[in-house]
Structure 1
Amino acid sequence: MYQYVNGLVIRDGTEGVPAAQVENLFKDAGWARDIPSWQKEKYTLIFQKSTWAFTVWDVDRMVEMVRVISDKIMAANIMDLVVLSEYKGRGIGRRLVELCVQKLPHGDWFAHTSAANFSFYEKCGFEVKDLNENGTCAYYGYIKAREEGHR
């Protein structure tokens, strides 16, 4: 599946995500250092082992990504949501979270993140569960299900 938003392409899928593009995003976010070339395949493998993923492309450059681990029934965890610095503030990260939640709308969603990201997740409908340097943000789909009359 592809979607077009503000001149960017959002791709849905866990296959074919280039390791070099993921590494570039992780480095920009400060999540990765130089690693030996024989370990770089992990950046592709993390997608292959994920339940769902979305990547955002500006022509041939991946500028944002999110990947999810889930049982596809009750719960899901946002493992990585990263946006290239120069693309922050365009609302695409929020759109990625919306697309994730649509995959399991009445399930419980969790994102373990730093305090700097708490307000972002609150804007996405998550609650901040642990108020310290790092914490868990949660979106309870069962509450939405009740509101919509499904439970």
Structure 2
Amino acid sequence: MYEYFNGFVIREGNEGIPVDDVEALFEDAGWVRNTPLWQKEKFTLIFKNSSWAFTVWDQNKVIGMVRVISDQVMVANILDLVVLSEYQGKGLGTKLVELCVQKLPHGDWFAHTSSNNFDFYRKCGFDVKDLSQNGTCVYYGYKQARIDGHRK
């Protein structure tokens, strides 16, 4: 699946994602630094072991990504949602979360994150259960199922 959004291409899938681009996203976010050559394979394996993944492309460069671990029936966890600093504020992160939730709209979604991301997840429809420095943001699909008339 390809989708155009605000001049960028969003691609669903977990193959063909350049390792160097993923490492650059992680470095920009402050999650890794000076990855040893023998560990670079992890930037490919994380996608192969994910249930779903979306990447955002500006021409031939990955500028954002999210991956999901899920049973694909009832529950899903958002992992590694990241957009390069220079591209933030363009709605890309929100769009990635929206695409994730569309995969399992009546399921329960979790995103374990730091408190500086709580407002972002609230904007995406998640509840924040833990107001300490780190916590889990939760999107309850049963609420949407009620709205859609699939649940009492």
TM-score with structure 2 length normalisation? Answer: 0.98
Query: 1:115-134 counterparts in 2 under 5 A?
Result: 115-134=115-134
What amino acid maps onto 1:82 in structure 2? V
- CA distance, structure 2, for counterparts of residue 36 and residue 7 of structure 1: 34
- CA distance, structure 2, for counterparts of residue 50 and residue 2 of structure 1: 18
Q: Which residue of 2 aligns with 1:34?
A: 34
Question: Which string of whole-angstrom CA distances, capped at 9 and with x for unpartnered residues, describes residues 1-41 of structure 1?
Answer: 10111111000001121111100000000000112101101
Identity %: 70
Secondary structure of 2:138's counterpart equals strand
1:12 corresponds to 2:12? yes
CA apart distance, 1:93: 0.6
- CA distance, structure 2, for counterparts of residue 81 and residue 23 of structure 1: 13
CA apart distance, 1:67: 0.2
CA apart distance, 1:68: 0.2
Q: Which residue of 1 aligns with 2:43?
A: 43
CA apart distance, 1:147: 1.8
CA apart distance, 1:146: 1.3
What amino acid maps onto 1:55 in structure 2? T
- CA distance, structure 2, for counterparts of residue 14 and residue 53 of structure 1: 6
The root-mean-square deviation of aligned C-alpha atoms, in Å, is 0.6
- CA distance, structure 1, for counterparts of residue 43 and residue 139 of structure 2: 27
- CA distance, structure 2, for counterparts of residue 35 and residue 123 of structure 1: 33
Q: Which residue of 1 aligns with 2:148?
A: 148
- CA distance, structure 1, for counterparts of residue 90 and residue 70 of structure 2: 27
Query: 1:2-151 counterparts in 2 under 5 A?
Result: 2-151=2-151
TM-score with structure 1 length normalisation? Answer: 0.98
CA apart distance, 1:100: 0.2
Secondary structure of 1:53's counterpart equals strand
Long gaps (5+) in structure 2: none
Question: Which string of whole-angstrom CA distances, capped at 9 and with x for unpartnered residues, describes residues 34-79 of structure 1?
Answer: 1210110100100010000000000011110000000001000001
Long gaps (5+) in structure 1: none
